[in-house]
Structure 1
Amino acid sequence: MSVLTVKNVTHGFGSRSILENVSFRLLKGEHVALVGANGEGKSTFLNIITSKLMPDEGTVEWSNRVTVGYLDQHSALTPGTTIRDNLRLAFDNLFALEQEMLGHYEKMGDCSDEEMTKLMEDAAEIQNILDTSGFYIIDSKIEEVASGLGLGDIGLDKKVDELSGGQRTKVLLTKLLLQNPTILILDEPTNYLDVNHIEWLKRYLQNYENAFILVSHDIPFLNDVCNLIYHVEDCELTRYVGNYDEFLRLYELKKRQQEKAYERQQKEIDKLEDFIARNKARVATTGMAKSRMKQLDKMEMIEKPKEKIKPTFNFKFSKAPSRFLIEARDLVIGYDEPLTRPLNFNIERGKKIAICGVNGLGKSTLLKTLLGILKPISGEIEFGENVDIGYFAQEDSRDNNNTALDELWNEYPSLTNHEARSELAKCGLTTDHITSPMKVLSGGENAKVRLCKILLQDLNLLVLDEPTNHLDVDAKDELERALKDFKGTVILVCHEPYFYESFITDVWNVEDWTTKII
């Protein structure tokens, strides 16, 4: 049974085409991954099927009584509400359905046989939805899912205003899972989740009976939960059966076959053109030349496979700093209350440190305190000599109207137009990306612009807060290589151990320092 049918959808922004004549069908129970490079149109496609965006052409059809749960990159919570308030909202539609069903039963006392049949069928369908959605075990369901994603440890009566970015994502995701929709749509759900809770979400999705569409650049996660891949590239959507590794194998095979077919056709075209050129002027062979010309005109041209733009990241090393870049003495971090016991540590030249631990214990707070963005609750931080810092923050403003080009020029006004465009292009950004406002770029494109600004700095200390969030596979691989090759010191917050294991020298777990109960 098809729960979603997309027919011949076309969409673009200005002169930039995003999707062209795309069709898609989702069957009940299918576990689909939507993959592709940053900016190819994954989030646009999700916005179209959820009616947040109207396509320029084509249709989107949902089956009757389908319920859709959508977690996108910019979902928000209402200030002033508690975690529990938000989780209870997950069942509002079910309470409304229950009232609709009770209304049907009231109408059955005074209706025709034909109306009775319709009301009974609809009531039975609603009853089935309530049963499969866990409507009659709401409280235990809230406790189970909230605990699985770590919200029980935070406390369900905590105000959402006091939560970290990662904790807010957990609330939104928990609420969505509690709704148990017919189709679940998740855009980068593992961003801001720590390892334990990614593992819990993986098991949940493996056992999920309904259909879901997932956008993620976390390859191990995709391999474990998806059995169908839809690849967005060059405005087209292509279906592959299997997990991500199987898609990659089939994609490379298809690409090689297309390259060989293109080369064979080019040789055939060269032969025909050569024959025509040599024989069209001779009376005896002009007929054969015309025949070859017709053959050439009728030939269906094979396009040369486009080379995917891959980013190049190379961090500039400035000069050697003193032996210890940062020394902390009796440092306590936090906002209104302490998040850690007093800390004493130093960061030595050349070290590459990964900071890990569950969300909400102060990983980002520690980075901001070390950089002087936040004041410590107590204690001291002392910098060594000749320390040049590059800082990648977890998120950028969503209301940034500057173009990518403006962003670079604002920081480096001496760059020529050609130089600025060239630097952005090295990061895998096209002309369309470069001239688009930052607020309409995808999360991955936005991150590449911000990385570009750091790549132009001379530095010896890199401080990176979740730099892999939203980055596509090629960009992640290139960033891993660049950090491995960087001669300076690195402090990294990241929830993906497989990303940093190849170059990290030390792992600091904030769970060892926290004053909170984990």
Structure 2
Amino acid sequence: MSILTVENVTHGFGSRCILENASFRLLKGEHVGLVGANGEGKSTFLSIVTGKTQPDEGTVTWCNHITTGYLDQYSSLPAGSTIREVLRGAFAHLFDLEQEILADYDKMADCGEEEMTRLMEDVGEMQEILEQSGFYVIDARIEEYANGLGLGEVGLDRSVDDLSGGQRAKVLLTKLLLQNPMILILDEPTNFLDENHVRWLGQFLQNYENAFILVSHDILFLNDVVNVIYHVENATLTRYSGDYRYFEEMHALKKRQLEQAYEKQRREIAGLEDFVARNKARAATANMARSRQKKLDRMDVIELPRERLKSEFSFRPARTTGRVVMEARGLVLGYDAPLTRPMDLLLERNQKIAVKGVNGLGKSTLLKTLLGVIPPIAGQVELDQFVEPGYFEQEESASARTALEEFWAEYPGYTNGEVRAALAKCGLTAEHIGTQMRVLSGGENAKVRLAKLMHREINLLVLDEPTSHLDVDAKEELARAIAAFKGTVLLVSHEPEFYQGIVSGVWDLTEWTTKVV
């Protein structure tokens, strides 16, 4: 049975076509992975099917009595609430039912026999619903899900106002899973999860009885949990039955077959055109020439898909530093309270170091403290006098400036052509370059920020979760560029498979944390 049917949906922004005559169906129990390069329209498609955006053309039809849960990249939390209160909100309908039962009990204190019978029946039905829904083990269920996604160490009685961006994303995801909707729609759910929590979520989704649609650039995770792939490319959606690896094989095969058919037809067209040109003027062969021309006119010409602009990253090295690039002594991280015990850290020239640890331990805080963006609680950091750092921050608020204006503000001496060339090198098209930063996808936004970083001479490259929104090809290219960089690197990433072949060492913050993990 089709739960969701999308027919001939077309949508665009200005002159930019995002989807064209796209069709999609979601069957009961299907685990769908929605894949494609940055900016191809994955988040736009999810926004359309959830009703947040109206398509320019086409229809979106859900089956009756469906319940959906949507986790997008920009959801928010109610201010002033604790984590536990937000999570209990997943069961608001059951708490409302409990209040109805209590109200019926109050009515029983003063009612006739007939009314008493009716109230007892109502209470019995509602009580059965609560029991079947696991109402009386809600708190245990909340604890299980919260611990699985790493909220236990944050503290369920902590205010959501005090949470980091990654912790807030975890709360939203946990609440969504607790709601157990008939359709789960997840946009990049692993961006702020560490290895253990990604593994827990993967097991949860593998065993999820209902259907879900998942957008993720974490290929290992995606491959483990989906059984259908929808690929969005050049404004078209294509369905593949199977996991991501099977999709890769079939997509490559389909591409080769199309290229072979294109070459064969191109040779056939060249032959026909040559025959017509040589024979149309001769009376003896004019009829044959006209026949060949009619064949040409009727021919359905094969067109190869537009080649997507590939990202090309590289970082400009500044002058060489001394042997010790950075040294921290007795360093204690934190804001109002310490996050760590005193640490002694040494970063030497040309080392490439990954920083790991569960969310909330202070990985981003460590980077900012080492760079002097925020002060330490205690201890000191010394940088080599010739250090020229380049810092990619985990999340930046998107401005109303276009990508071109954003880059130009950083490098006002560049010509228009030089700015466009710099952005194009990172895989951004002319349409992207003229689009506001707040309208660009997360991956496109990250590419603009990387472009700005690439045009600065640096000898210390500091990257905080640079892969969160990047597509597969862009991640591979970034890994190559980091490995090729002739300088020192300090990297935070929740994807060990991204940095394992790059780094020369790992700093694990769990060795210094004051928290129980």
TM-score class, shorter: over 0.9
| Residue in 2 that maps onto 1:456 | 455
**Stretch deviating more after TM superposition (492-501 or 323-332):** 323-332
Superposition CA RMSD, Å: 2.3
Alpha-carbon distance in 1 for matches of 2:235, 2:220: 26
Shift of 1:345: 1.6
1:502 aligns with 2:514: no
Q: Residue 355 of structure 1 aligns to a residue in which SS?
A: strand
Alpha-carbon distance in 2 for matches of 1:100, 1:434: 56
Alpha-carbon distance in 2 for matches of 1:100, 1:187: 36
Alpha-carbon distance in 1 for matches of 2:286, 2:269: 18
Residues 217 and 291 (structure 1), Cα distance of their counterparts in 2 relative to 1, 3 Å cut = same
Contact 1:133–1:179, Cα closer than 8 Å, also in 2: no
Percent identical: 65
| Equivalences for residues 312-323 of structure 1 within 5 A | 312-323=312-323
Alpha-carbon distance in 1 for matches of 2:252, 2:93: 44
Alpha-carbon distance in 2 for matches of 1:71, 1:98: 28
Q: Which amino acid aligns with 2:50?
A: T
| Residue in 2 that maps onto 1:150 | 150
What CA deviation, in whole Å up to 9, does each residue of 1:444-488 have, x standing for no partner? Answer: 000000000001011110000000001000000000000011110
| Residue in 2 that maps onto 1:231 | 231
What CA deviation, in whole Å up to 9, does each residue of 1:17-74 have, x standing for no partner? Answer: 0001111111111000000000000000000011110001111111111111111111
Alpha-carbon distance in 1 for matches of 2:266, 2:464: 49
| Residue in 2 that maps onto 1:330 | 330
Residues 351 and 251 (structure 1), Cα distance of their counterparts in 2 relative to 1, 3 Å cut = same
| Residue in 1 that maps onto 2:220 | 220
Alpha-carbon distance in 1 for matches of 2:164, 2:96: 32
| Equivalences for residues 124-135 of structure 1 within 5 A | 134-135=134-135
Moved over 3 A (4+): 93-103, 126-137
Q: Residue 498 of structure 2 aligns to a residue in which SS?
A: helix
| Residue in 2 that maps onto 1:443 | 442
Q: Which amino acid aligns with 1:509?
A: D
| Residue in 1 that maps onto 2:477 | 478
Contact 2:391–2:463, Cα closer than 8 Å, also in 1: yes
Q: Which amino acid aligns with 1:371?
A: L
Residues 235 and 127 (structure 1), Cα distance of their counterparts in 2 relative to 1, 3 Å cut = farther
| Residue in 1 that maps onto 2:256 | 256
Alpha-carbon distance in 1 for matches of 2:364, 2:134: 37
| Residue in 2 that maps onto 1:58 | 58
1:162 aligns with 2:125: no
Alpha-carbon distance in 2 for matches of 1:131, 1:251: 47
| Residue in 1 that maps onto 2:77 | 77
| Residue in 2 that maps onto 1:387 | 387
Alpha-carbon distance in 2 for matches of 1:250, 1:129: 46
Alpha-carbon distance in 1 for matches of 2:90, 2:457: 49
Alpha-carbon distance in 1 for matches of 2:252, 2:384: 49
Contact 1:356–1:508, Cα closer than 8 Å, also in 2: yes
Alpha-carbon distance in 1 for matches of 2:297, 2:455: 50
Residues 186 and 97 (structure 1), Cα distance of their counterparts in 2 relative to 1, 3 Å cut = farther
Alpha-carbon distance in 2 for matches of 1:334, 1:176: 30
Contact 2:394–2:465, Cα closer than 8 Å, also in 1: yes
| Residue in 2 that maps onto 1:113 | none
Alpha-carbon distance in 2 for matches of 1:332, 1:250: 52
Alpha-carbon distance in 1 for matches of 2:228, 2:131: 28
| Residue in 1 that maps onto 2:299 | 299
Alpha-carbon distance in 2 for matches of 1:335, 1:70: 33
Alpha-carbon distance in 1 for matches of 2:282, 2:336: 93
Q: Which amino acid aligns with 1:89?
A: G
| Equivalences for residues 68-107 of structure 1 within 5 A | 68-95=68-95
| Equivalences for residues 346-361 of structure 1 within 5 A | 346-361=346-361
Alpha-carbon distance in 1 for matches of 2:440, 2:128: 41
Contact 1:11–1:20, Cα closer than 8 Å, also in 2: yes
TM-score by length of 2: 0.93
| Residue in 2 that maps onto 1:138 | 138
Alpha-carbon distance in 1 for matches of 2:95, 2:208: 23
Shift of 1:385: 2.3
| Residue in 2 that maps onto 1:414 | 413
Alpha-carbon distance in 1 for matches of 2:53, 2:213: 17
1:197 aligns with 2:210: no
Q: Which amino acid aligns with 1:351?
A: Q
Q: Which amino acid aligns with 1:416?
A: T
Q: Which amino acid aligns with 2:421?
A: S
Residues 134 and 43 (structure 1), Cα distance of their counterparts in 2 relative to 1, 3 Å cut = farther
Q: Residue 511 of structure 1 aligns to a residue in which SS?
A: helix
Contact 1:355–1:492, Cα closer than 8 Å, also in 2: yes
Shift of 1:171: 0.7
Q: Which amino acid aligns with 2:497?
A: Y
Total equivalences in the alignment: 502
Shift of 1:96: 5.4
- Structure 1: segments with no counterpart, 5+ residues: 107-119
Q: Which amino acid aligns with 2:428?
A: L
| Residue in 1 that maps onto 2:344 | 344
**Stretch deviating more after TM superposition (339-348 or 177-186):** 339-348
Contact 2:90–2:179, Cα closer than 8 Å, also in 1: yes
Q: Residue 221 of structure 2 aligns to a residue in which SS?
A: helix
What CA deviation, in whole Å up to 9, does each residue of 1:305-361 have, x standing for no partner? Answer: 332221000111111101111111111110100011111121100110000010101
Residues 505 and 404 (structure 1), Cα distance of their counterparts in 2 relative to 1, 3 Å cut = same
1:41 aligns with 2:62: no
**Stretch deviating more after TM superposition (3-12 or 448-457):** 3-12
| Equivalences for residues 424-435 of structure 1 within 5 A | 424-435=423-434
Contact 2:153–2:515, Cα closer than 8 Å, also in 1: no
Q: Residue 287 of structure 1 aligns to a residue in which SS?
A: helix
Contact 1:312–1:478, Cα closer than 8 Å, also in 2: yes
Q: Which amino acid aligns with 1:61?
A: T
Alpha-carbon distance in 1 for matches of 2:301, 2:144: 57
Q: Residue 154 of structure 1 aligns to a residue in which SS?
A: coil
What CA deviation, in whole Å up to 9, does each residue of 1:277-300 have, x standing for no partner? Answer: 001111111111111111100001
| Residue in 2 that maps onto 1:3 | 3
Shift of 1:139: 2.1
Q: Which amino acid aligns with 1:434?
A: I
| Residue in 2 that maps onto 1:179 | 179
| Residue in 1 that maps onto 2:514 | 515
What CA deviation, in whole Å up to 9, does each residue of 1:254-298 have, x standing for no partner? Answer: 000000000000000000100000011111111111111111000
**Stretch deviating more after TM superposition (285-294 or 473-482):** 285-294
Q: Which amino acid aligns with 1:412?
A: Y
Contact 1:312–1:426, Cα closer than 8 Å, also in 2: yes
Alpha-carbon distance in 2 for matches of 1:359, 1:2: 38
Q: Which amino acid aligns with 1:214?
A: L
Residues 102 and 336 (structure 1), Cα distance of their counterparts in 2 relative to 1, 3 Å cut = closer
What CA deviation, in whole Å up to 9, does each residue of 1:347-395 have, x standing for no partner? Answer: 1001100000101010000001111111111111111121111000001
